[in-house]
Amino acid sequence: MLEPLLHDDPHTTASYRLIARLGSGGMGTVYLARSPGGRTVALKTVHARIAADTTFRTRFRLEADAARVIGGRHGAQVFDADPLAETPWLATEYVLGPPLDEAVARHGPLPETAVRAVGAALCGALGQLHSSDVVHRDLKPSNVMLSAYGPKVIDFGIARALGDDRLTRTGTAAGTPAYMSPEQAGGQEQTPAGDVFALAGVLVFAATGHGPFGGGQAADLIYRVRYADPDLTGVPSSLAPLLTRCLAKDPSARPGTAELARELHDGHGQFVDHLPAELLAVIGRLAAEVWQYRPHRLPAPPERAGTAPEAPTPRRTGMSRRRLLTVAGLSVAGVGAGGWAGMRLFGEGASRAGSTHRLMQTLWTNDTASAQDHTTPFFVADAVVVADVFRLVGLDPATGKGSWFTMPLTLPDQITSDGSAIYCFLRDSKDRLALLTLDEVGGSDRTLVTLPDVKALGSSTTAAALLHASGGTVFFTAGREAGLNGQDWHLLAANTSSGSIRWQTPLTHMHEPSFEGGAWFAKAIGHVLVLGGGFSQLELHAHDSRSGKHLWSKEVSDWKDEIISPVRNGTELAEDGEKMYVGAGLLQAIRVSDGTVLWEFGSFRDFGDATQFATHYGAPAIREGVVYAAELTGAIVALDAARGELLWEAPTPKENPPVLAGPPVVGKTHLYYGGTTGLGAIDLRTRKYVRTQAPRLERFAADPDQRMIIGVGKERVTALHME
């Protein structure tokens, strides 16, 4: 993830021009940089106070030497280095791919074929080191980068030649306890067999999401590594015996890297063919980011003065394998392969410096778009889209300046997007309601469906409501304006390529359907389309998104003191693929497949004078197994997504209690909620309120990379930096 340069970062190091920050920790900072010839590198520098330590300078030089030994095929290739400079630096390849730990955390364990391919390739990497009598000594998931061409091993901070103990005290264990070998944990000599032990632990993590010896305190981990059997729960049965051999306490019982590689993989196929689509998409975004990123520098903190910086530009997502390899290939040839390698150089303490003064800093405002505060901003391709009075406006996310606008729309609040195109309804010259796609320069791309031509809706007074677009399909409801009842309204799915109707089904299972006024939302979760809304009570109706078949319906909860649903569009519906999370009278987790309520929260909370039928919770958000929601008590509550148990709650100040409307936005370190006087922020580490950013934003959303929040309020669009 690229971050803006800080005001006091140097402009150059040696001959390299600094472009962005990749990470910063207690020992140094890593930058994205370019050489005079245009090569893009990860440039790692050492803090001045550390550079004065001759022992560290020696370690830094040895790290560069070890990286050169492993070479560019299995590691981040070293292009240049100067360990003797006043500020020591190292320029390496910028690997296009995420570290294994983050890939598994975000997208789940790898399939067995991918685990085997990763393992075989890592055997080659370790074999290259061992052939030069060098051991890595700290192989772990965060030190393995997944590129399209194979995994790359990084961070050789404690790698050393066999028998060289100049930087290690006798009887001490250097490395990461969860993945070190028993002999390393006992302070003994680390041999190539120790790296094989660590590799097996990495593969257990890749296949299951957990290490072979669990977590906890270092002392407990070291004990389990030395004396306990590994936990292989979840490891594919065909892999378990081989990994058990690698995790033997006796180093002599472990296979060598060559034998292990043969048993893991037959060598057929390209590495990229074994990666899941989710990882390919991440690699593709990184490849595009290298070319699209606009360098910029944050100003000095307010007390030192400065002007608002430009914001990062959201990027298009999704890329074919061919396009991915094309871009990645260009990066290797003209830019240098790049990605996240530098972020791990200085260990697990890396963090983004300067976050305190950047929290919710205003990046730009735009008051010329006359944005309507009833529509949440959304992102299409490279633009932020907001609703004007009679049209949509596309804004440049870097500057906030308008770049395009649509034709006048009949129903400006009846719009939806799948992230790459915008869909809307428009009445033609014959007063027929038509579903259109809009191109990004503001014109009508083409007509998908003219509603009076749809079966059972042969009326020029057709009413309709757009609900959701995804997977090449637009979902909407349509009916006749006269005699609106269940027989007159239909749910339809239109093909975005051909405009043909995939299916349509009458909404006879709904009591009094009426889709005007934006009171309904929908979202496709797997193969289930969830339709929700209502004026006095939250109703949910599920349909098979492939056939339109009605699956189940449920009356969930009351919101009698609210005019419209807290959820205005499908993107605001919190879900994790199996469950969706809704807030109104209670917070509830509902199984998507059959509508079963798995847990509910709030029955015994003290809401003061509020009635039991009031709205007690706003729309929730979910991130990494935690559900967050604003509560009528004025607190932000965090619940365990699996059980619905309260993990913690953070009170908000009386002058800025949360508004029970759209969901909060959850960043890496802070949660942002819509308050009565402004956007409030909760520190997720301390679980305390930290500040309010005025003015109030009625509707807001984070950009796809979660770098900034775009909000609308009082006919103004505002972009804020988030953490």
Catalytic residue among 138, 195, 373, 558: 138
Query: Do residues 28 and 345 make contact, with C-beta atoms less than 8 angstroms apart?
Result: yes
Active site residue 9: no
Distance from C-alpha of 352 to C-alpha of 687, rounded to nearest angstrom:
19
To the nearest 10°, the Cα dihedral for 674, 662, 572, 562? 180
Q: Measured in Å, how far apart are the chain's first and last C-alpha atoms?
A: 12
H or E element, residue 679? strand 679-683
User: Of 236, 131, 246, 133, whose CA–CA distance to 199 is shortest?
Assistant: 246
Q: Which two tokens stand for residue 685?
A: 């580490």
625-626-629 Cα angle (round to 5): 145
Secondary structure letter of residue 300 according to DSSP: P
Peptide bond into 695 cis (omega under 30): yes
3-state secondary structure of 519: coil
Query: Do residues 721 and 691 make contact, with C-beta atoms less than 8 angstroms apart?
Result: no
**From the CA atom positions of the chain, what is the Rg in Å?**
28
Q: Look up residue 157 and give its amino acid.
A: G
Alpha helices in 10-53 (DSSP H): 48-51
User: Of 399, 371, 373, 386, whose CA–CA distance to 314 is shortest?
Assistant: 399
Query: Do residues 199 and 242 make contact, with C-beta atoms less than 8 angstroms apart?
Result: no
Distance from C-alpha of 660 to C-alpha of 657, rounded to nearest angstrom:
9
Distance from C-alpha of 30 to C-alpha of 33, rounded to nearest angstrom:
9
Alpha helices in 265-358 (DSSP H): 277-292, 321-330, 355-358
Q: Look up residue 364 and give its amino acid.
A: W
User: Of 585, 629, 579, whose CA–CA distance to 607 is shortest?
Assistant: 585
Catalytic residues: 138
